Structure 1
Amino acid sequence: MVTHVVIFSWREGAAPEDVARLRDGLDRLASDLTDLGTIRHGADLRFRHGNGDYALVATFADRAGWDAYQADPRHKALVRDLVAPIQASRLTIQF
């Protein structure tokens, strides 16, 4: 199994409605992609100063599933249209 973790920090002034569009887009993507095992995502609860703003944790059966997800045009469109405009930085890991 491959677990994919992404932590996003948003640009200053990122609008809540833009984050909501991303949340909805991730939910749609999760229901559309067969290579995706599970996906959980959400905004930071602000328990600690310095955390990221939003996190995503997705699982895949294997490397091939993760590769397919990364190459999928729907995933690329979501990143281009919903993430990139509000993203200041991101940190990722696969394990």
Structure 2
Amino acid sequence: MLVHCLTLRFTESASAADVEAFRDAIARLPSQVDFHLRTRQGPDLGERATNADYAVISEFANAEDFRRYLVHPAHLAVPRDHVESAHSVQFLVAETD
């Protein structure tokens, strides 16, 4: 399994509705693609001042599905107008029972 971790900061002008639109678009992604995709997401809890504002964790069956995701129209349609910066990392996890 490939895990994609995304952290981002929203612009200061981002409203609650802007963040909600981003969240909703991410939540819809698994039903819009034709490969396995599991997402988890949420706002930072504010435990550290240097943290990002928001995180998205996405799980894919393999690297090929992740590459397909990057160019998928549903992924490209996620609203990013109010994203100031984003950082990501991908890593492989062996699935165990």
Q: Normalising to structure 2: TM-score of the pair?
A: 0.87
Q: 1:13, CA displacement in angstroms? A: 2.0
The answer to which of 20-29 and 30-39 deviates more is 30-39
**Partner of residue 14, structure 1:** 14
Unaligned runs of 5+ in 2: 92-97
Counterpart-to-counterpart distance in 2, 1:36 and 1:6 = 18
Match of 1:89 among 61, 85, 89: 85
Counterpart-to-counterpart distance in 2, 1:70 and 1:36 = 14
**Partner of residue 53, structure 2:** 53
Size of the alignment, in residue pairs? 91
Identical aligned residues as a percent = 32
4+ residue segments displaced more than 6 Å: none
Unaligned runs of 5+ in 1: none
Counterpart-to-counterpart distance in 1, 2:11 and 2:36 = 28
Q: Normalising to structure 1: TM-score of the pair?
A: 0.89
**Partner of residue 5, structure 1:** 5
**Structure whose CA Rg is larger:** 2
**Partner of residue 76, structure 1:** 76
**CA offsets, 1:28-65, max 9 Å, x none?**
11222232431101111111111000100001111111
